[in-house]
Structure 1
Amino acid sequence: MTTDVHSLREFKMPDVGEGLTEAEILTWYVKPGDTVTDGQVVCEVETAKAAVELPIPFTGVVEALHFPAGATVDVGTSIIAVAVAGAAPAPAAAPAAAPAPAAEPEPERREVLVGYGPRTGSAQRRARRTNGAGAAVAAPAPVAAPAPAPVAAPAPVAAPAPVAAPVPAVAEGERPLAKPPVRKLAKDLGIDLRTVVPTGPNGVITREDVHAAANTAAEAVVEPVAAPAAPAAEPVAVALPVPTAAGDVRVPVKGVRKATAQAMVASAFTAPHVTEFVQVDVTRTMKLVRKLKESGELGAGVRVSPLLLVAKALLTAVKRHPEVNASWDEAAQEIVVRGAVNLGIAAATPRGLIVPNIKDAGSRTLPQLAVALGDLVETARQGKTSPADMSGGSITITNVGVFGVDTGTPILNPGEAAILAFGAVRELPWVHKGKVVPRQVTTLALSFDHRLVDGELGSKVLADTAAVLEHPKRLITWG
């Protein structure tokens, strides 16, 4: 009689990439009725950073798949139900006592990830007032009675005013606590910071507080004519995607592409970009690349390319000027000079542009750097780059030369101080030893965050990178 005892276990979408809030299910590897074992991969999902395979943490039979392939699911939401055999008689005890159903929601709320979970709130809160046992069942009826009243209640919209009134927890004459960006946001939205309820530490007003105040104000002023500001912003956003002509194709922006778009906008309008350019005679570097390929000195099967020597040249320049390997701490208003150089390499993949990085690249020898670079590129092409490989970068190289492009003004990878664009190598007339002769020339462009890197430092890093590429022997003398 107890041999068929089993329980239903729910597997929730985990946070597979450092604080991400959602992921798209790309492929299911199981279906209802399949038997799964602890550690078996059941699906592949795409986050804003990479595609990741998810293993199930228990053994049993698949009862249901809650979402189809292609669905975007919030972190903390159950995606698959599995019937687990040999469970404790807890389910049997449930039918014995009627309260069991009441206790049912509890496990749902317990198993959540930090920061995320089932979106249930108001229903549970009402239950606290039902200390009157069965009277609580009758309570909903009275709630229905006032229903008509609330319809009239909106008329006295004066009620919202008190909502803002308690906020002046700021004493008369005192200045509300908020960071400059938050103050600017409030100004743009027309929100008086003295009317905003602070939820940040030590009474600091956050961006979320300002948005909440703006939403409350918009709702309270929907009827009055004073609300045109909110509707005005709404139509503009909705009107843009409306026109669709024959032959147009709409591509949903999600996953890696969505994250890239958001990151680039944030970077472009947060960090003050400065870009400098230099043309370099890389004839000697190209000769060295050919020699290393032919000799196999770096190891069997190791791929040698001009990008490898550009990476080594940049790392040499960073070693001479470590202040460029830094990031900006907005909260603390500090510059953080990194101890290790995590070198990012921008890679175009079917899912969009990603920037995986080589950890502690500055401490690697040329052969070690060649192996790491080859592995990084191959993994990216296969779409198997992990979120960990794309976090913690400190400086980046983007190789636009492979597309035949001479140069560009690269946008910084968020959180980094500099990015180097490596252009196409072309044979051009060049003055060499007093004569105009054909030489192999490229253009380098270095963009940097002017809060962290001033013109002198940026120029030195770019000039040293160019100098190493012009005379590769400096890899030894400067290394």
Structure 2
Amino acid sequence: MAVSVTLPALGESVTEGTVTRWLKAEGERVEADEPLLEVSTDKVDTEIPAPAAGVLASIKVAEDETVEVGAELAIIDDGSGAPAAESAPAQAEAPAEAPAQPEPAAAPAQEAPQQEAPAAPAGGAEGTDVVLPALGESVTEGTVTRWLKEVGEEVAEDEPLLEVSTDKVDTEIPAPTAGTLLEILVGEDETAEVGAKLAVIGQKGAAPAAAPAAPAPAQEAPKQEAPKQEAPAPQAPSAPAPQQVTTPAPDPAPAAPAPAPAPAAAPVTPAAGEADAAYVTPLVRKLAQENGVNLATVKGTGVGGRIRKQDVIAAADAAKQAAPAAAAPAAASKAPAIEASPLRGQTVKMPRMRKVIGDNMMKALHGQAQLTSVVEVDITKIMRMRAKAKDAFAQREGVKLSPMPFFVKAAVQALKAHPVVNARINEDEGTITYFDTENVGIAVDAEKGLMTPVIKGAGDLNIAGIARKTAELAGKVRTNKISPDDMSGATFTISNTGSRGALFDTVIVPPNQVGILGIGATVKRPVVVDHPELGETIAVRHMTYLALSYDHRLVDGADAARYLTTVKQILEAGEFETEIGL
């Protein structure tokens, strides 16, 4: 049964969305409510879950395409696996014919490896094939980077079975069914085409398919005495030929019982592989770049000296262990280590979120007469108060007490006294709306770009309520669970530009608002203080800058100064003891 995946309504005013990324490829299995794709609108980026479990049969809308709400995005079928069942007999016929061909002794060295694969099916390795699924529209092959299970181990349905790397993505391939891993047909660091058979899974408790493979090569032993290179795999159970022990000496000793060498057959094959050490899989290259490992200095343990994932991890661990010894002489300078960004020298496509932010900022700058006023505020009392109350506050309220809620509280209290800063110009109507509620947008620095979720009714909340709501919205942004409703309805915005060390910033007023408050970094510095008993004296104080950007079409410089002065007075008075439990 086919299930249609459609673009849902993503907000009251959202009529269309752009597919930014498919999280599943055609042919992959998805579970109900599992994230299927990412969609971007002019308000929010969000994930669209799968409406039902099954196999992603068809993708109707490609990445970077824009469609209207209700449009069909993809088709999910029930994933019954009928095509896999039909292909099983066809593949069983090929092994049946293969054993007849090794009888001519023309090329025994080349025939032996080909007989190992068919031996298992002939010996009863019947089960479900694990094939390489389609991993993207233009992806035709993939490299097996790691098997997560070994022959003979049991696997559950949809349990990760192996890791595959392509030129576009690194991903895990799940087991199509539950059972025992009977046979691995493609070794690590080997490349296979899409649709190729990677392994066989049989009934739970079944013997590994590699076990019956030993007797088949035993019959070929008299014909293969000359080529010693192929001796380790087929002739391990054959004791009568003493000359063959010279090359594979470590293998025959533990492999005296016939069943024992079967699991060892798969790992032995890479040892006979021929070198292509220059090739490094995308997964290994990416891992090396993330860990700062120079691949030229890594000795590979894979086929022909090829560098594997484990080699990079070992090199990274060794570098970390050596780092403390080198850190001692470097401690004197304390200069931060600055690494070059991988973006240097690249030309990349502009992300949709970045484009939306840019369009909104240009619209705001071109449509408003913007100006910025700055005041300096002494928040020493607030910082001392916070230090006393933060531990008890965190235990009581369940969130950390940062300085941010104090600034929000002071800002919304001042908005009630200065509504000209909490207003909107209705250009089409030639009117001004002065809001009777304070819906404050909080700028959050997210991985995809700046986002501004809204604290609705912030003027009615206390310090604890503001802290909880701020933490909740910031968490939604960083986990990509923010909704369009969380992003709409702001009447005023606050941006904590000082969280990254900036003293102050000339922030841009968002569209449909007339003011935004920027909070600078809090720093300790000597300040002249007028003490009632000591007179003018110099003391170390916690100081910060507040910058108000405003639309000069409605807000005059005097209005901005009066608003900032009120915020300054509230913060420096610091009368928040009751709200934070002191």
Bucket of the pairwise TM-score, normalised by the shorter protein: 0.5 to 0.7
Q: Residue 437 of structure 2 aligns to a residue in which SS?
A: coil
Q: Does the 8 Å contact 1:25/1:73 carry over to 2? A: no
Alpha-carbon displacement from aligned partner over 1:418-473 (angstroms, at most 9, x marks no partner): 10111111122212121122211111100111223223322221111111111112
Contact 1:355 1:390 in 2 (8 A): yes
Distance 1:334 1:424 in 2: 37
Is the aligned partner of 1:472 residue 2:574?
yes
| Distance in 2 between residues matched to 1:448 and 1:347, nearest whole Å | 20
Provide the residue aligned with 2:563 in structure 1: 461
Alpha-carbon contact 2:423-2:513 (below 8 Å) kept? yes
Shift of 1:314: 0.4
Instruction: Supply the distance in 2 between the matched residues of 1:338 and 1:298 (Cα, whole angstroms).
Output: 36
- Residues 448/422 of structure 1: CA separation in 2 closer, same or farther (3 Å cut): same
Is 2:420 aligned against 1:420?
Answer: no
Q: Which residue of 1 aligns with 2:67?
A: 74
Tell me: CA distance 1:247–1:360, structure 2 relative to 1, closer, same or farther (3 Å): closer
1:296 deviates by 2.2
Structure 2 residue runs of 5 or longer lacking an equivalent are 80-342
CA distance in 2, matches of 1:463, 1:20: 42
Matches within 5 A, 1:296-315: 296=393, 299-315=396-412
Q: 2:446 aligns with which of 349, 353, 369?
A: 349
Partner of 2:38: 44
- Equivalent pair of 1:299/1:367 in contact (CA under 8 Å): no
Amino acid at match of 2:373: E
- Equivalent residue of 2:396, what SS? coil
Match of 1:332 among 417, 429, 437: 429
- Distance in 1, matches of 2:8 and 2:431, equals 33
1:130-175 per-position Cα deviation (integer Å, ceiling 9, x unaligned): xxxxxxxxxxxxxxxxxxxxxxxxxxxxxxxxxxxxxxxxxxxxxx
Could you list the runs of 5+ residues in structure 1 that have no partner in the other structure? 1-5, 86-245
Report the counterpart of residue 146 of structure 2 in structure 1: none
Q: Could you tell me which residue of structure 2 aligns to residue 261 of structure 1?
A: 358
Q: Which amino acid aligns with 2:14?
A: G
* In structure 2, C-alpha distance between the alignment counterparts of 1:46 and 1:288, rounded to whole Å: 42
CA spacing shift, 1:475–1:390, aligned 2, 3 Å: farther
Note the C-alpha offset of 1:57: 5.8
Shift in Å at residue 27 of structure 1?
3.0
Residue 380 of structure 2 is matched in structure 1 by: 283
Out of 14, 17, 23, the residue aligned to residue 18 of structure 2 is: 23
Displacement after TM superposition at 1:35 (Å): 7.5
Q: Which moved more, 1:256-265 or 1:76-85?
A: 76-85
The secondary structure found in structure 2 opposite 1:299 is helix
* Contact 1:49–1:256, Cα closer than 8 Å, also in 2: no
Whole-Å Cα distance in 1 between the matches of residues 366 and 77 of structure 2?
Answer: 50
What is the distance in 1 between the residues matched to 2:576 and 2:4?
Answer: 59
Q: Is the 8 A contact 1:41 1:53 kept in 2?
A: yes
Rounded to whole Å, the distance in 2 between the matches of 1:450 and 1:343 is: 20
Q: Give the 3 Å change call, closer, same or farther, for CA 281–36 of structure 1 in structure 2.
A: closer
How does 1:186-205 map onto structure 2 within 5 Å?
none
Deviation digits for residues 390-411 of structure 1, max 9, x if unmatched? 1111111111111111111110
Counterpart Cα distance in 1 of 2:477 and 2:30: 32
Amino acid paired to 2:485: A
Alpha-carbon spacing, 1:385–1:275, altered in 2? closer, same or farther (3 Å): same
Question: Residue 311 of structure 1 contacts residue 397 of structure 1 at CA under 8 Å; is this kept in 2?
Answer: yes
**Distance verdict in 2 for CA 1:307–1:81, change over 3 Å:** same
Aligned partners of 1:24 and 1:47 also within 8 Å: no
CA drift at 1:45: 2.1
Amino acid at match of 2:38: E
The amino acid across from 1:419 in the alignment is I
**Superimposed CA distance per residue, residues 103-133 of structure 1 (whole angstroms, 9 cap, x where no aligned partner):** xxxxxxxxxxxxxxxxxxxxxxxxxxxxxxx
**Residues 262 and 471 of structure 1: CA distance in aligned 2, closer, same or farther (over 3 Å):** same
Structure 2 residue aligned with 1:54: 48
Within 5 Å, give how 1:164-313 maps onto structure 2: 248-296=345-393, 299-313=396-410
Query: CA, structure 1 residues 62+383, in 2 after alignment: closer, same or farther (shift >3 Å)?
Result: closer
Amino acid at match of 2:40: E
Alpha carbons 2:494, 2:519 under 8 Å: kept: yes
Alignment-mate amino acid for residue 50 of structure 1 = V
CA contact (8 A) 2:444 2:477 kept: yes
Q: Report if aligned partners of 2:46, 2:480 keep a CA contact under 8 Å in 1.
A: no
* Secondary structure of 1:327's aligned partner: strand
TM (normalized to structure 1)? 0.59
Letter in 1 for 2:545: T
Distance 1:46 1:418 in 2: 27
Checking the alignment, whether the CA contact within 8 Å between 1:48 and 1:257 is kept in structure 2 is: no
How far apart are the structure 1 equivalents of 2:372 and 2:41?
31
CA distance in 1, matches of 2:21, 2:348: 16
Which of residues 342, 354, 371 in structure 1 aligns to 2:468?
371
Offset of residue 328 of structure 1 = 1.6
Give 1:346 shift.
0.8
Local SS of the residue matching 1:470: helix
Q: 1:393 to 1:58 in 2, by over 3 A?
A: same
Contact 1:326 1:394 in 2 (8 A): yes
Aligned: 1:437 with 2:515: no
- How far is 1:60 from its partner? 7.8
Would the aligned equivalents of 1:468 and 1:475 in 2 still touch at CA under 8 Å? no
Q: CA RMSD in A?
A: 2.9
DSSP 3-state at the match of 1:385:
coil
Contact 1:48 1:258 in 2 (8 A): no
Q: Distance in 1 between matches of 2:353 and 2:442?
A: 16
Question: 1:74 is aligned with what amino acid?
Answer: V
**Equivalent-residue separation in structure 1 for 2:53 and 2:373 (angstroms):** 58
**Is the Cα–Cα contact under 8 Å of residues 27 and 43 in structure 1 kept in the other structure?**
yes
